[in-house]
Amino acid sequence: MQSKTQITNETDAIKPPITSIGVIGWMRTNLFNGWFNSLLTIIVIYLLWKTVPPFVRWALFDSLWVSDGTACQQTDGACWSVVTANLRFIIFGFFPHDLQWRPLLAMLILIALLFYSRDRKRWKKSLGYTWVAALIIMGLLMKGGLFGLESVESSKWGGLPLTLLLSVFGLTAAYPLGVVLALGRRSRMPAIKTLCVIYIEMIRGVPLISLLFMSSVVFPLFLPEGVTVNKILRAQVAIILFTAAYVAEVVRGGLQAIPKGQYEAAEAIGLNYVQTMRLIVLPQALKIMIPPTVSVLISAFKDTSLVVIIALYDLLKTTQSVLSDPKWMGFSAEAYIFIAFVYFICCFFMSDYSRRLEKELAT
């Protein structure tokens, strides 16, 4: 009889074929496991070979990063100088040059709070008070007029601070309003249900552009003479009302997914409507609808760029203003790639946080 050592050595000597393991095995299984997949793989490799190296050469090796428009006109590579040379105007718009540290500080406070609030263990009353204090500080930094800060009209606000202002506060206010509208649409009181249905269907039936035009052009016509409402505030309200209608339908789908037995159990232990929704139904429904809700919020975040139509100098409008300069005409691809990268970072942050939240709530 063979010893255990001999059997072990013979077993170690018998290894699976190299074409079935490692990189080669993975390629055979996923890329070349049939004539059709093999053909598709070859076509994709050919297309990548034709597009990726020229793009890398254009974007990196032949590009200019610190130059003027004249030098960019004489090169075949990318002109990233259109971004670096005009970065302060793209980011801050017409905010006074010597005061641009204020919107920069306000953005840093907002980003720091967003990162700090990602941990659910920190969701306490103290965090809410911190947000309120931070909002007051950010508003003071942007507006000024107190504590020796020079006053800056909101018409000079622009660039990335305005984009973050419209998106963060718009989405924050639209979410609870959407929950209320969803509960109202499922209400047993005919008047409340009818009003919520009319609102949701009416808002969802028109594009955001029309609401922005109404807030910018039509709404001021109904105000008394001498009374004006800030254009940024009107755009903010339009974005909130528009997004809330879509969030309401997502929330309604989550409420419908809750079994009827949950409502009956709540009634059996003597909970009223508010307690049932707050303690039993909404915690389950909101957890179910995290993916579709985040999709709606990401879409709404990107839609804030439409305020460019009503002459608000958000990040997209400031970039377009730079491209209207004759020195930088013809370099829109580089500028829009930069803007796309900024939007991608923000959307990826929202998507990544939603995945983390789903894992934490997967009980």
Looking at residue 5, its pLDDT comes to 60
Looking at residue 187, its pLDDT comes to 84
Cβ atoms 72, 64 nearer than 8 A: yes
Burial letters 145-162, b for 16+ CB under 10 A, else e: eeeeeeebeeeebbbbbb
Q: What is the number of alpha carbons within 13 Å of residue 54 lying toward its C-beta? A: 6
Which DSSP string do the residues of 149-215 spell out, in sequence order? PPP--GGG--HHHHHHHHHHHHHHHHHHHHHHHHHHHT-S-HHHHHHHHHHHHHHHTS-HHHHHHII
The torsion angles phi and psi of 62, rounded to 5 degrees, stand at -100, 15
Q: Per the structure block, which two tokens stand in for 79?
A: 């002109």
Q: Per the structure block, which two tokens stand in for 262?
A: 């949950």
Domain ranges of the chain: 18-61, 81-95+152-360, 97-151
Looking at residue 16, its pLDDT comes to 55
Distance CA 337, CA 343 (A): 10
Q: Which of 231, 242, 128, 232 is nearest to 177 (CA)?
A: 242
Candidates 1.10.8.60, 3.30.465.10, 1.10.3720.10, 3.40.50.300; CATH matching 81-95+152-360: 1.10.3720.10
Looking at residue 8, its pLDDT comes to 56
Query: Cβ contacts of residue 193 below 8 Å, gap of 6+?
Result: 184, 185, 186, 187
Distance CA 116, CA 114 (A): 5
Q: How many C-beta atoms lie closer than 10 Å to residue 312's C-beta?
A: 25
The torsion angles phi and psi of 79, rounded to 5 degrees, stand at -110, 80
Q: Per the structure block, which two tokens stand in for 23?
A: 């990189």
pLDDT tens-place values along the chain, 363 residues long: 555 565 555 555 555 555 555 677 777 777 778 788 888 889 999 999 989 998 888 888 888 888 887 787 887 888 888 888 888 888 988 888 888 899 999 899 988 988 888 877 888 888 888 888 988 888 888 888 788 888 888 888 888 888 888 888 888 888 899 999 998 888 888 899 999 999 999 988 888 888 888 888 777 777 777 667 778 888 888 889 899 999 998 888 888 888 888 888 888 888 888 888 888 888 888 888 888 888 888 888 888 888 888 878 888 888 888 888 888 888 888 889 999 999 999 889 888 888 888 887 775
Looking at residue 10, its pLDDT comes to 55
Query: Cβ contacts of residue 85 below 8 Å, gap of 6+?
Result: 66, 68
Distance CA 103, CA 144 (A): 11
CA 225 to chain centre: 38
Looking at residue 2, its pLDDT comes to 52
Angle between helices 231-256 and 290-303 (to 10 degrees): 160
